[in-house]
Chains A and B, each alone.
Chain A
Amino acid sequence: MKKKIKGISYILPPLIIVVISFNIPLFLMLIRSLFSPDFTFEQYVYLVDHPIYLQILANTFKTAIIVSLLCCLLAYPLAHWITLLAGQVKLFVLGIIAMSFLVSILIRTYAWIVILGNNGIVNRTLLEMGLIGSPLQLIYNDLGVTLGTINVLLPFAIFPLYAAMLKIDKRLIKAAYSLGSKPITVFTKIYLPLTLPTLLSSAILVFIMTLGFFITPAILGGGKVQMVATILDTLINRLANWNLASAISTILLMVTIALYIVYRKVGETVK
């Protein structure tokens, strides 16, 4: 009992700040969707009648799922490879990955234009080698948005996975080999189960961050890939329709929480 009180008194200051500066405003914002000014479901009825908003929401989820799957597929072997490196080289590689945080998202987004644009390095090389007749459309579409977003979010999957892989007790793997396991069995029975919770939490982290992405889709999507953040900006800053924006945000939050619950359930069964 005493222990509990002691804990609470320590987290109280940050807790108060988070509640006052984040939770209460968030709650007030969400509640706007139900009052205008009297209690009403008007905004939600409107969303059902005008399916365009929900279509864009679905589009956002689709992009987020693709990005988080690809991030995991890329980050998993990469993180494993880093754990195998020798001390100095490992630091160097980790440093390179961390360095990407130092460059602004906007600059990294424009860098993709230099590489993948009509007149970019890739297209010019392919054209000069005579492999293609006219430039390939590599950006200003779904592909561009997916690439650009993965580029920004990949470190968020690599670092947790790397930490989880370091923590694995190497004796378990040695023991498995000494008992005659094949590498594939060691991976499926030991390595993967021990890193799976982190893999899932990285996926959910990348997923949630993609949901709110704004500038990367706006520029690399060429305006053809709609994300919910852009619609919210339009509703708030151009149409002054906060109530509808709040209803969309509420649905976004609910779906995200539902996915999080599913993830927790899956995580528990895995353990």
Chain B
Amino acid sequence: MRKLVFTLRYPLIIVSIFMLLIAAGCSDSTESSSEPKKDGELDKSVTLRVLEAGGPSGDYMEKGFVEPFTEKTEIKVVRESPTSLGKLQAMVESGQHTYDLVEVSSGNLYQAISGDLIEKLDWEQIKPDPTNEEGQHEYGIGYQYYSTIMAWNPDAAGGKELTSWADFWDVEKFPGKRSLPDYAVFALPIALLADGVPKDQLYPLDIDRAFKSLEKIKKHVSVWWQSGSQPSQLLKDKEVDYSAAWSGRIVENEDNIKYSFNEGLLDLSYLVVPKGAKNISETNAFIHEMTVAENQAKASEVLPYTGPSKELTALLPQDRLEAFPSSDINYEKQTFTDSEWWAEHGTEVEEKWELFKLNLNN
């Protein structure tokens, strides 16, 4: 009998420890009720938590914005990655305020707005430096321009250069295998541009025409890529001769790969404030720091992407302006993605996209 009691006691102690741990974990979220403070006054004991894309893009944020901000305000910023819309939604729905800022793509920005997941920004309190129009959104601060551009192997087609998506579609003038993004949001506008739709008349997208255009090229597309690292690998390995690709991955391989920003699909990612977030004054101070042109220029040294400041081009390395997606010489060549349209039609298009791919092998 004594033995039985003993054997029971040990696991029961473990159980109670677990229970205590779980209880502690639950109460953790409710304890952080800081003292009320005046508007604009920064609390240096706060640590801002940012959920971002990670990898080299994390260094972009660290060098460009976190370091100058912490130096100026003594407020610490912790970065975590990778970001996703799923994480933002899970966090807001569970009421756990883990992050003060979350990086989202422009498409996810509108999903987050319609899902009531994020706060409006108080631009009067932020007092931003001048930015492009899309840089100051009602719900987000423009963070990083990126572009989906055409890239090719210099040996392909006897060294002829592509200047438009129509060239990309022209398999007689430019023979060889191709690669396109496995994302409707990029593949469909490209298909329409290739079919002759002027870049300022893309939206609202003519979905049926886009798929008809894709039907023409699909036999020559050997890879529909998912990961942004694929196009440069495919081109270098000569798996394909031509690929649509994200600019940052391509311009760093200039020796092996040629590219053009002509008819590129320009897009801007944002940082947003999750619903119910605290530390608003500190977050706003950080957002202000993100609009400063010098900081954006520092970030662009890490990675050839750009922020939305109006004065940025003058601060970029002048001999490499063609490598940056939103520099003055590239901005006008491209077309801007209408993410509001995508937020509205995403599901419908996505289903047609999957159907299109299901029939690829036939």
Interface of A toward B, CB cutoff 8 Å: 2, 5-6, 9-10, 12-13, 16-17, 20, 50, 52, 55-56, 59, 110, 113, 117-120, 137, 140-142, 218-219, 222-224, 226, 230-231, 234, 236-242
Complex Cα distance, B18 from A110, in Å, reads: 42
> Contact mask B339-362 → A, CB, 8 Å, 1/0?
000000011001100110110110
Q: Say yes or no for B163: interface residue by CB 8 A criterion.
A: no
- B residues less than 8 Å from A142 (CB atoms): 361
Docked-complex contact B358 and A9, CB < 8 angstroms = no
- Residue of A17, A110, A223, A242 near B357 (CB, 8 A) is A223
Tell me, yes or no, whether B34 is within 8 Å of chain A by CB: no
Whether A9 lies near B108 (C-beta < 8 A) is no
The docked-state distance in angstroms from the alpha carbon of A86 to that of B107 is: 60
Chain A min CB distance to B136 (Å): 24
Are B226 and A6 in contact (CB-based, < 8 A)?
no
CA distance A248 to B11 in the complex (A): 39
The reply to whether the CB of B315 lies closer than 8 angstroms to some CB of chain A is no
Q: Taking A52-B351, A117-B237 as given, write out 12 further A-B residue pairs in contact, using a Cβ cutoff of 8 Å, ordered by the A residue number.
A: A10-B7, A13-B15, A52-B355, A113-B233, A118-B177, A118-B238, A119-B237, A219-B226, A222-B225, A226-B357, A236-B84, A239-B347
Residue pair A226, B224 in contact (C-beta under 8 Å):
no
CB distance from A35 to the nearest CB of B (A): 13
Q: Are A240 and B15 in contact (CB under 8 A)?
A: no
Residues B11 and A12 in contact, CB atoms below 8 Å apart: yes
Q: Give the complex CA separation of A137 and B220 in angstroms.
A: 13
**Which of these, B11, B237, B354, contacts A56 with CB under 8 Å?**
B354
- Chain B interface residue count, Cβ-Cβ cutoff 8 angstroms: 43
Q: Which of B4, B19, B84, B223 contacts A6 (CB 8 A)?
A: B4
* Structural contact, A12 and B15, CB atoms closer than 8 A: yes
Residues of B within 8 A of A110 (CB): 233
Choose from B111, B222, B230, B361 the contact partner of A240 (Cβ within 8 Å).
B111
Known: A6-B4, A118-B237, A236-B85. A224 touches B357 (CB 8 A): yes
Residues of A within 8 A of B89 (CB): 240, 242
A117 to B236, CA, bound (A): 12
Closest to A20 in B: B22
Q: Which residues of B contact A (CB under 8 A)?
A: 4, 7-8, 11-12, 14-15, 18-19, 22, 84-86, 89, 107-108, 111-112, 114-115, 177, 182, 222-227, 230, 233, 237-239, 346-347, 350-351, 354-355, 357-358, 360-361
Contact between B239 and A119 (Cβ–Cβ < 8 Å)?
A: yes
A selection of 16 A-B contacts at a CB cut-off of 8 Å is: A6-B4, A6-B8, A12-B15, A20-B22, A117-B237, A118-B238, A118-B239, A218-B227, A219-B226, A223-B224, A224-B224, A226-B358, A237-B85, A238-B350, A240-B85, A240-B108
- The smallest C-beta distance from A110 to any residue of chain B, in angstroms, reads 8
Interface of A is mostly: helix
B195 to chain A: closest CB distance in Å? Answer: 21
Select from chain A the residue with minimum beta-carbon distance to B93: A242
Contact of A119 among B111, B112, B238, B355 (CB under 8 A): B238
Q: How far is the CA of A140 from the CA of B178 in the complex (A)?
A: 12
- B8/A17 in contact, CB under 8 A: no
Question: Is A224 within 8 A of B11, CB to CB?
Answer: no
B349 closest partner in A (C-beta): A239
Q: Which 8 A-B pairs have the closest CB atoms?
A: A223-B224, A223-B182, A222-B223, A218-B226, A240-B111, A236-B86, A9-B11, A13-B14
B215–chain A nearest beta-carbon distance, Å: 15
Check A16 against B226 for contact (C-beta < 8 Å).
no
How far does the alpha carbon of A224 sit from the alpha carbon of B227 in the complex, in Å?
Answer: 14
